[in-house]
A and B are shown apart, each in its own frame.
Chain A
């Protein structure tokens, strides 16, 4: 039997097509920065100030899921991409794959960050900083305050027991929702093993039985905004903040057991031909100005890692982000589960089983 890395199966048409699609339009031009990002980076309010200040063009490509990003990078030519936005918990995987360049940590304003989200254990390996946290938030419970009594949301397990009669929907991403179930069961999300899955499975099945739908971001927002669902399990500020202006009754809370915390990091790619410009971009994004724009991006809102961004946000924006409650929220939240490959596969099978249930 022949063993090859999946993405080295270069003759495969699917991979070839993916590879072509992954090529940045203006690869390797010195006045262009190519960045693989999440959708919140595509807001002109974030990108244009940097482009104007440096006289360059930032070429952005959105992706979903770390696996998709790795596949795109492996199928691109060396140097095609300069910057990568990635789940903070996946930074060590990227470092292990040799994808990331060292960052000048003395030039990064991490002293101004919320201490809990510096996450040196993820962003640094063997004392070298490879990424820096830029934004964070919570996978918890979003709900319609006109229809749901917040007191009914104190207990996670009770929310999906079906007893309240509220209409539930589930955010369709296995890691945070499995993490949230684990939090509800009193488990530590960082210590989950295959032995924990049967108990999690039971709760997921109860949750599915009590739910109307399982949807990604837009579908979840639509469900909440149209009244199809009163509660989104796995939601948070990133789901309801963009709806808050027109529908202030759509809000979110953290139950007594706590919630799951997500965070995203930004890094420079090892094979970037524009390392200096890429580092400047990273420094801009984690500056107070960049952080304020990123926090209130039109795609989704989230807490900036840099506390100084708060000085640039309006009172209304800080209220929507629950700025003043972050100390409490940070102390009560756990990180996404970060399973190894085998447990990750088992979790994905469990998620599929729940969907098909």
Chain B
């Protein structure tokens, strides 16, 4: 009977194990091996050479991409949290329950359009003769159109538009699980509204914030489309540099090294937020 249970256990585990080995462990191992190879002309030379990593951190235009990626990602994550939390709060506590579904539907509506189309739309909105500049000039706020398209501001705006919705969903899911009694108990004990939020509600909703923030970090730092379309190539992120290595140079080893560094950054973000990543609370 014990053997039977053991076999049954392996029977359940094996498909998942195989899946993980085939589609994560093996590709990752190949990626690491590739990052330690080098390219001479069109010849791939396998070895244990750290040349790609030395090049990556030794050439400012490559290492600069890591800094640019981190700056954009952290900015987007922070702004998205600051915008999404009040929105999720309003939907959870101010919108009547019968309207919440509709409001949530409206909130995720931007997800229904093509990512590329949405990015190009932002490019037109933020362009010199776009709706934002025209509105500001009509109102007399500015005399000359502002340079908004093809800037980091445009990239961040495009990202925030997308990720505010994602964070709103994770934070909302967390907020609606909270019993109103927590707040009542805090105020009964003399806490002000701010103190109740600061010391009771916010800590209890951290799992929702951190899950959304982690997803935002992962998706944002690995995204190629938005910075490519909205950033105007005025600065390069890591995915853009990877695409150049693959598309133009065919330099798979350097692209692999860049990808490993990208995975390292995501791992660091996970470790930093792991204590709050509780999916059961979202």
| A residues with CB within 8 A of B | 1-6, 9, 11-14, 64-65, 67-68, 71, 167, 169, 172, 174, 212-215, 219, 222-223, 226-228, 341, 345, 348-349, 352-353, 355-357
Contact = CB atoms under 8 A, between A and B. Distances in A.
A352 B62 contact: yes
Contacts of A214: 232-234
Interface stretch (B37-45, B96-104, B191-199, B210-218): B37-45
A226 B30 CA distance: 45
Interface in B16-35: 27, 30, 34
Given A68-B247, A341-B41, 6 more contacts: A1-B45, A67-B247, A228-B128, A352-B244, A353-B59, A356-B60
Interface of B: 27, 30, 34, 39, 41-47, 59-62, 64-65, 68, 120, 123-124, 127-130, 147, 149-150, 229, 232-236, 241, 244, 247-250, 252
Contacts, number: 110
Contact of B129 (A9, A174, A219, A227): A227
A198 to B, nearest CB: 16
Given A213-B232, A227-B128, A356 B39 contact: no
A213 B43 contact: no
Contacts of B250: 6, 67, 71
Contacts of A167: 128
Contacts of B27: 13
B124 A1 contact: no
A65 B68 CA distance: 27
B150 A212 contact: yes
Nearest to A218: B120
22 contacts: A1-B46, A3-B43, A3-B45, A4-B44, A4-B46, A5-B42, A6-B43, A6-B250, A9-B252, A71-B250, A167-B128, A174-B248, A213-B234, A222-B124, A223-B150, A226-B127, A341-B42, A349-B59, A355-B61, A355-B236, A356-B235, A357-B61
B232 A215 contact: yes
Contacts of A68: 247
Given A2-B45, A5-B43, A222 B123 contact: yes
A315 B147 CA distance: 39
B45 A226 contact: no
Contacts of A11: 30
A144 to B, nearest CB: 12
Contacts of A349: 59, 61
B218 to A, nearest CB: 20
Contacts of A172: 233
B232 A65 contact: no
Nearest to A226: B127
Given A214-B233, A228-B128, A12 B30 contact: yes
B230 to A, nearest CB: 10
Identify the 4 closest CB pairs spanning chains A and B, nearest first. A213-B232, A213-B150, A214-B233, A356-B61
A227 B127 contact: yes
B244 A222 contact: no
A314 B39 CA distance: 50
Contacts of A212: 147, 149-150, 232, 234
Contact of B248 (A4, A12, A65, A356): A65
B34 A12 contact: yes
A67 B248 contact: yes
